[in-house]
Amino acid sequence: MRKMKAMQIQAKGEKMKLVEIPIPQPEMGQVLLRVEACGVCNGDSRTIMGGAPTYPKIPGHEVIGIVEELGDGSTKWNIGDRVGIGYNGGHSHVTGLTMNGGYAEYMVAFEDYLTSIPKEVTSIEAAPLMCAGETTFSAIRNSKARLGDLVAVSGIGGLGHLAIQYAHKAGFRTVAISRGIDKEKLARKLGANHYIDLNKENPAEVLKSLGGAKVILATAPNPKVISSLINGLGTDGELIIVAGSSDPLELTSMDFVRGQRTVRGSFTGQAKEINDTIRFSVLTDVRPMIEVFPLEQASEAYEKMMAAKTRFRAVLNIS
């Protein structure tokens, strides 16, 4: 029996561990992928912290791989195709949570939820687009913002550094909001027209002075910071939250009434949105900034990401 290396959580509460286990068999409607790269996302913490419904489990939901075997009835892909999958594994599955993910040399995936990866992008660059890229691309393109509108991105991390690029490339006046001045130069290089330093400035006041934002995308997972943004919205503006937190926001009803504002969430990933994300990224030359780790160092990559020290997305280079 052929075996593969994987970084696996063997039981709830246990640490991630390098194991050698049999290569899985694709079932009806599935394919076997030889994994080339897998991004390390904050969403992996659910599996890593004991939140998966069953164990053992292999995390990872930003996966790029090569189709190596077809399950019964699988007709959509050819052997050798390069494909990707995100958080939504299809058929009510979550990749890396309810079914095994991409911290491994091989994984099985439902064929309907895969996206073809264009040749212009490498596997290690494509991986973060499966979740971080898609989440921010979809939130912005499905928003109320239209060409030339003011769009602000709060937090310059894995999601935020892609969101700034998407907002700029999509033709918005783009504002980056971060803590300190360290990231200003980079934010401007990524396409930000304005930069707000949360340590020195009131973001709502600065946004108002720029005319009020049509959209503010909150990627910084801090409810105080998120709450401080709403008054920076212009009339009919939208505050779109992608950073989840269980702590309450501090908003008053007047924050909504004044200017008829909306606050809403946005969640990652339908295959169609991933497909549109990767094609837009190729068209406009949007790429993630990545730190590459071997599979065996998945724990180090995860810890660095959780400490918000990665610039800006950790990716496991698997083959």
Q: Which of 24, 26, 43, 60 touches Zn ion (CB under 5 A)? A: 43
Look at strands 313-317 and 30-40 and give their pairing: antiparallel
Minimum CB–partner distance for residue 132 and ligand NAP (Å): 6
Nearest in space to 211 (alpha carbons), one of 228, 234, 237: 234
User: With binding defined as CB under 6 A, does residue 135 bind ligand NAP?
Assistant: yes
Q: For Zn ion, which stretch binds (CB under 5 A), given 41-49, 102-110, 205-213, 240-248? A: 41-49
Quick one: what does residue 219 bind among Zn ion, ligand NAP, none, with the CB cut-off 5 to 8 Å set by partner type? ligand NAP
In contact, 31 and 18? CB cutoff 8 Å: no
User: With binding defined as CB under 6 A, does residue 143 bind ligand NAP?
Assistant: no
| Residue ranges in 222-281 that form contacts with ligand NAP under rule CB under 6 A | 222, 225, 242-244, 266-268
* Residue 23 or 132 having the CB closest to Zn ion: 132
Measured CA to CA, the distance from residue 29 to residue 91 in angstroms comes to 11
Q: Which of 70, 109, 156, 186 touches ligand NAP (CB under 6 A)? A: 156
User: With binding defined as CB under 5 A, does residue 41 bind Zn ion?
Assistant: yes
Nearest in space to 8 (alpha carbons), one of 103, 98, 94, 95: 103
In contact, 249 and 227? CB cutoff 8 Å: yes
* Residue 247 or 296 having the CB closest to ligand NAP: 247
User: With binding defined as CB under 6 A, does residue 26 bind ligand NAP?
Assistant: no
Q: For ligand NAP, which stretch binds (CB under 6 A), given 18-26, 41-49, 68-76, 113-121? A: 41-49
In sequence order, the 6+-apart residues with CB closer than 8 A to the CB of 298 are 7, 16, 40, 59, 103, 316
Q: How far is CA 158 from the centre of its chain?
A: 7
User: With binding defined as CB under 6 A, does residue 155 bind ligand NAP?
Assistant: yes
State how far the alpha carbon of 243 is from the alpha carbons of 87, 158, 170, 218, 298, in Å.
Answer: 15, 11, 22, 6, 23
User: With binding defined as CB under 6 A, does residue 219 bind ligand NAP?
Assistant: yes
User: With binding defined as CB under 6 A, does residue 130 bind ligand NAP?
Assistant: no
User: With binding defined as CB under 5 A, does residue 131 bind Zn ion?
Assistant: yes
Q: For ligand NAP, which stretch binds (CB under 6 A), given 47-55, 92-100, 219-227, 232-240? A: 219-227
* Residue 173 or 313 having the CB closest to ligand NAP: 313
In sequence order, the 6+-apart residues with CB closer than 8 A to the CB of 153 are 136, 160, 163, 164, 167, 174, 175, 176, 177, 192, 216, 217, 219
Minimum CB–partner distance for residue 247 and ligand NAP (Å): 11
Quick one: what does residue 183 bind among Zn ion, ligand NAP, none, with the CB cut-off 5 to 8 Å set by partner type? ligand NAP
User: With binding defined as CB under 5 A, does residue 295 bind Zn ion?
Assistant: no
Q: Indicate the angle between helix axes 160-169 and 132-141, nearest 10 degrees.
A: 40
Q: For ligand NAP, which stretch binds (CB under 6 A), given 50-58, 60-68, 90-98, 216-224? A: 216-224
* Residue 31 or 126 having the CB closest to ligand NAP: 126
Quick one: what does residue 231 bind among Zn ion, ligand NAP, none, with the CB cut-off 5 to 8 Å set by partner type? none
Interface ranges with ligand NAP (CB under 6 A) = 41-43, 131-132, 135, 155-160, 178-179, 183, 219-222, 225, 242-244, 266-268, 308, 312
Interface ranges with Zn ion (CB under 5 A) = 41, 43, 131
